[in-house]
């Protein structure tokens, strides 16, 4: 997300805050409740700001941050360890959140552009809207924070409503259900529709016009890979036909401008709520112009735009979660259930899981051709097994249901990566590792921009024994995913555990903080055992004995279900033993 800051046309020095002003702004940010970050992130921000003020921007590198701020060893390898990149992403999102909520009128804006760790500073200059509005009009733009400022509240409200409504829904009699299924199979659920308008050429040249058309087509192609939304293309000034039965006007429009500035390509994009023309999101992309590599540049920019907008927890999902929680739709069993599913992923809570699963079951009954709902339903069955929510049901029965639902989803839409993700997990937990990884690789070929898929596929690679490649994919997914990261942070804790870095493993696990999830406590128990933290391990062991005693009865089986190689299984067994858990010999 790019904040709209326009430097004054006067002497540039007047727009650059002084060192005292920057430090005062830093204190203002760190003392605000809206800058909700761990202490390490606060130290990170303070360090890079002080280095920049002192004129040592050239020293602000991943290595120096890791060693001087995080206390890493001199052997730290930034290519192999994504900790600094991920922490930088947290700081960026926290700054965005702060300026959206508490710092909208602060005189100094501190930001950290992507691609590096050197902060930038600017005085906030009042602006006028494009229509000649008064200064400060831009505050009316609906900025959505990518770290769950409004989205988290909205999803919580959405899940609460589903919990209240689902139990009251009565099943149709058999004949009525069959008739309803036949009728509804021809109706598409009310999922978001996005109109992509032709990008405007501001340079008015032959090359810039070609780039504008190419970028428009490439953005459409990349967004269309995300099956949770429908992309509508506008050609020229002609709007698409929305009078077809069951068709609704697109709720959102994506608008873009292209400008060639010397050797740079500048793309500006914004997402507009068509009902009131409010701007939900805006960003700028600057690329070095290389005519010989133009197609690659267009593809990279288009992928960035598509990922920001259309991925789970992306801008459109955030906007829809907010809107649907405030004005619930009639078809709860469809798109609202998919939003609730991703909300459940925030804390992987068993009670939330049960209500979301029930909602998705009714969704596929009402919309039997909705592939995404079948895929998410499959994932809820998988979660019963892998997270041991309801131990009496977490058996081959739930795995069989998962495979059936995933198969149905893939049959309906073979290009739906959420369906392929569900199929991959079903095969993996059946012990069919190689077929599972082949399905995951195929899904990644279809849409490598889907961070949910990339993180899950990377974790499967790691657990199958391909730790360096798999953990690298998980780290990249955490860096790019704007949503709740607890599940993938736990995956990085497992990665660090296997590599023998128990301090890092504990840091990742504490950051994930999935307190309602039994497997989270089991992983943390092994980590604490290896780290020699007996008192903390005793707390986790007590939690497991109290809340998930069945999980501990055959711990070797539980580990083997998730970790493929016997040598890796042995590492977990040893950690659990050192934590005080009695594990029977084989």
In this prediction, residue 130 carries a pLDDT of: 39
8 Å CB contact between 106 and 25: yes
**pTM for this model (two decimals):** 0.71
User: What mean pLDDT do residues 471-483 have?
Assistant: 87
In this prediction, residue 316 carries a pLDDT of: 87
| pLDDT above 80: residue 101 | no
Question: Do 44 and 76 reside in the same domain of the chain?
Answer: yes
Q: Which is nearest to 579 in space by CA: 509, 514, 512, 513?
A: 509
Question: Do 117 and 176 reside in the same domain of the chain?
Answer: no
Quickly list H helices, 334-466. Answer: 337-344, 350-366, 371-386, 396-412, 417-429, 433-446, 451-463
Q: Does 345 fall in a domain?
A: yes
User: Residues 180-223: pLDDT tens digits?
Assistant: 444 444 456 778 889 999 999 999 888 889 999 999 999 999 99
Q: Which segment, 141-145, 321-325, 383-387, is predicted with the most confidence on average? A: 383-387
Question: Do 121 and 148 reside in the same domain of the chain?
Answer: no
Instruction: Tally Cβ neighbours within 10 Å of residue 211.
Output: 25
What does 75-138 look like in DSSP terms, one character per residue?
Answer: T--TTT--HHHHHHHHHHHHHHHHHHHT-TT-SEEEE--TTS---EEEE------TT---TTGG
Count of helix runs (H) and strand runs (E) in the chain: 23, 8
| pLDDT above 50: residue 304 | yes
C-alpha 557/C-alpha 442 separation (Å) is 29
Question: Do 121 and 234 reside in the same domain of the chain?
Answer: no
Q: Does 205 fall in a domain?
A: yes
Helix (H, G, I), strand (E, B) or coil at 179: helix
Confidence grade of residue 39 (pLDDT, cut at 50, 70, 90): confident
**The CA-based dihedral angle spanning residues 318, 319, 322, 325, taken in that order and rounded to the nearest 10 degrees:** -100
User: Residues 422-468: pLDDT tens digits?
Assistant: 999 999 999 999 999 999 999 999 999 999 999 999 999 999 999 99
In this prediction, residue 351 carries a pLDDT of: 84
* Beta-carbon-side half-sphere exposure of residue 393 (alpha carbons within 13 Å): 13
User: What mean pLDDT do residues 335-355 have?
Assistant: 85
In this prediction, residue 144 carries a pLDDT of: 34
User: Residues 508-539: pLDDT tens digits?
Assistant: 998 887 888 999 999 999 999 999 999 999 99
Question: Do 57 and 95 reside in the same domain of the chain?
Answer: yes
Q: Does 457 fall in a domain?
A: no
8 Å CB contact between 326 and 246: no
8 Å CB contact between 284 and 199: no
In this prediction, residue 223 carries a pLDDT of: 93
- What domain count does the chain have? 2
C-alpha 409/C-alpha 418 separation (Å) is 9
Q: Which segment, 76-80, 180-184, 557-561, is predicted with the most confidence on average? A: 557-561
User: What mean pLDDT do residues 140-144 have?
Assistant: 34
Question: Do 86 and 148 reside in the same domain of the chain?
Answer: no
The enclosing domain of 316 has a CATH number of 3.30.160
Confidence grade of residue 76 (pLDDT, cut at 50, 70, 90): confident
Confidence grade of residue 4 (pLDDT, cut at 50, 70, 90): very low
| Relative orientation angle of helices 315-326 and 337-344, to the nearest 10 degrees | 110
Beta bridge partners of 264: 261, 288
Biggest CA-to-CA distance, the chain: 77
| pLDDT above 80: residue 554 | yes
Mean pLDDT of all residues in the chain?
Answer: 81
Question: Do 23 and 72 reside in the same domain of the chain?
Answer: yes
Q: Does 319 fall in a domain?
A: yes
Question: Do 106 and 188 reside in the same domain of the chain?
Answer: no
Residues 6+ apart with CB under 8 A from 15: 7, 8, 122, 123, 125
In this prediction, residue 402 carries a pLDDT of: 94
8 Å CB contact between 514 and 523: no
In this prediction, residue 240 carries a pLDDT of: 55
Look up the domain containing 277 and give its range: 141-363
In this prediction, residue 257 carries a pLDDT of: 94
Strand residue runs (E) in 182-277:
193-196, 200-201, 230-233, 252-261, 264-273
Q: Which is nearest to 328 in space by CA: 121, 163, 503?
A: 163
In this prediction, residue 247 carries a pLDDT of: 58
Helix (H, G, I), strand (E, B) or coil at 303: helix
* Low-confidence winner among 89-93, 307-311, 355-359, 408-412 (lowest mean pLDDT): 89-93
**The CA-based dihedral angle spanning residues 49, 51, 56, 60, taken in that order and rounded to the nearest 10 degrees:** -80
In this prediction, residue 135 carries a pLDDT of: 36
Instruction: Mark which of 334, 363, 392 sits at the end of a domain.
Output: 363
| pLDDT above 90: residue 256 | yes
In this prediction, residue 12 carries a pLDDT of: 40
Q: Does 42 fall in a domain?
A: yes
Question: Do 118 and 183 reside in the same domain of the chain?
Answer: no
C-alpha 283/C-alpha 304 separation (Å) is 10
Beta bridge partners of 253: 195, 272
Question: Do 180 and 281 reside in the same domain of the chain?
Answer: yes
Tell me the two tokens of residue 322.
């907010």
C-alpha 289/C-alpha 262 separation (Å) is 9
| pLDDT above 60: residue 414 | yes
Q: Does 386 fall in a domain?
A: no
Helix (H, G, I), strand (E, B) or coil at 285: strand
Instruction: Mark which of 84, 101, 126 sits at the end of a domain.
Output: 126
Instruction: Mark which of 363, 394, 414 sits at the end of a domain.
Output: 363
Question: Do 324 and 204 reside in the same domain of the chain?
Answer: yes
Q: Does 416 fall in a domain?
A: no
- 241 or 462, higher pLDDT: 462
Tell me the two tokens of residue 556.
């070797």
Helix (H, G, I), strand (E, B) or coil at 254: strand
Q: Does 581 fall in a domain?
A: no
Question: Do 159 and 98 reside in the same domain of the chain?
Answer: no
């Amino acid at each position: 997300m790019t904040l709209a800051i326009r430097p004054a046309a006067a002497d540039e020095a007047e727009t650059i805050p002084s060192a005292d002003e920057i430090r005062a702004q830093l204190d203002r940010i760190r003392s605000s409740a809206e800058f909700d970050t761990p202490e390490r992130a606060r130290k990170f921000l303070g360090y890079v700001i002080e280095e920049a003020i002192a004129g040592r921007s050239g020293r602000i590198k991943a290595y120096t941050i890791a060693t001087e701020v995080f206390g890493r060893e001199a052997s730290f390898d930034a290519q192999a360890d994504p900790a600094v990149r991920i922490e930088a992403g947290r700081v960026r999102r926290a700054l965005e959140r702060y300026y959206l909520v508490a710092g909208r009128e602060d005189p100094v804006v501190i930001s950290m552009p992507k691609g590096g760790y050197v902060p930038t500073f600017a005085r906030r200059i009042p602006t006028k809207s494009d229509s000649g509005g008064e200064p400060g009009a831009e505050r009316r733009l609906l900025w959505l924070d990518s770290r769950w400022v409004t989205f988290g509240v909205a999803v919580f409200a959405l899940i609460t409503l589903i919990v209240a409504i689902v139990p009251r829904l009565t099943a149709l009699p058999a004949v009525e259900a069959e008739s309803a299924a036949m009728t509804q199979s021809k109706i598409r659920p009310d999922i978001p529709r996005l109109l992509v308008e032709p990008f405007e050429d501001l340079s008015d040249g032959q090359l810039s016009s070609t780039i504008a058309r190419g970028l428009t087509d490439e953005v459409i192609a990349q967004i269309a890979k995300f099956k949770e939304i429908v992309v509508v293309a506008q050609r020229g000034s002609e709007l698409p036909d929305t009078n077809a039965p069951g068709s609704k006007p697109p709720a959102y429009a994506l608008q873009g401008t292209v400008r060639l500035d010397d050797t740079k390509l500048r793309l500006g994009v914004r997402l507009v709520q068509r009902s009131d023309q409010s701007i939900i999101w805006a960003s700028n992309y600057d690329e070095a112009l290389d005519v010989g590599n133009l197609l690659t540049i267009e593809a990279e920019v288009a992928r960035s735009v598509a990922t920001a907008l259309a991925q789970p927890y992306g801008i459109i999902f955030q906007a829809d979660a907010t809107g649907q929680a405030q004005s619930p739709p009639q078809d709860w069993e469809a798109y609202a259930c998919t939003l609730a599913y991703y909300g459940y992923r925030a804390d992987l809570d068993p009670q939330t899981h049960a209500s979301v699963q029930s909602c998705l079951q009714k969704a596929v009954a009402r919309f039997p051709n909705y592939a995404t709902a079948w895929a998410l339903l499959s994932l809820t069955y998988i979660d019963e097994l892998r997270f041991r929510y309801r131990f009496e049901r977490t058996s081959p029965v739930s795995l069989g249901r998962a495979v059936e639902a995933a198969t149905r989803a893939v049959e309906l839409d073979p290009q739906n990566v959420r369906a392929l993700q569900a199929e991959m997990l079903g095969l993996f937990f059946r012990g069919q590792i190689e077929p599972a990884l082949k399905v995951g690789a195929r899904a990644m070929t279809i849409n490598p921009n889907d961070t949910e898929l990339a993180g899950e596929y990377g974790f499967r690679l790691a657990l199958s024994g391909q730790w360096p490649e798999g953990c690298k994919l998980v780290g990249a997914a955490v860096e790019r995913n704007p949503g709740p990261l607890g599940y993938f942070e736990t995956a990085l804790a497992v990665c660090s555990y296997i590599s023998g870095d128990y301090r890092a493993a504990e840091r990742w696990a504490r950051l994930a903080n999935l307190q309602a999830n039994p497997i989270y406590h089991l992983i943390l128990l092994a980590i604490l055992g290896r780290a020699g933290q007996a008192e903390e391990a005793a707390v986790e062991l007590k939690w497991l004995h109290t809340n998930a005693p069945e999980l501990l009865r055959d711990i070797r089986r539980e580990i083997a279900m998730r970790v493929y190689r016997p040598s890796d299984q042995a590492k977990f067994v040893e950690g659990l033993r050192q934590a005080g858990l009695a594990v029977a010999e084989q």
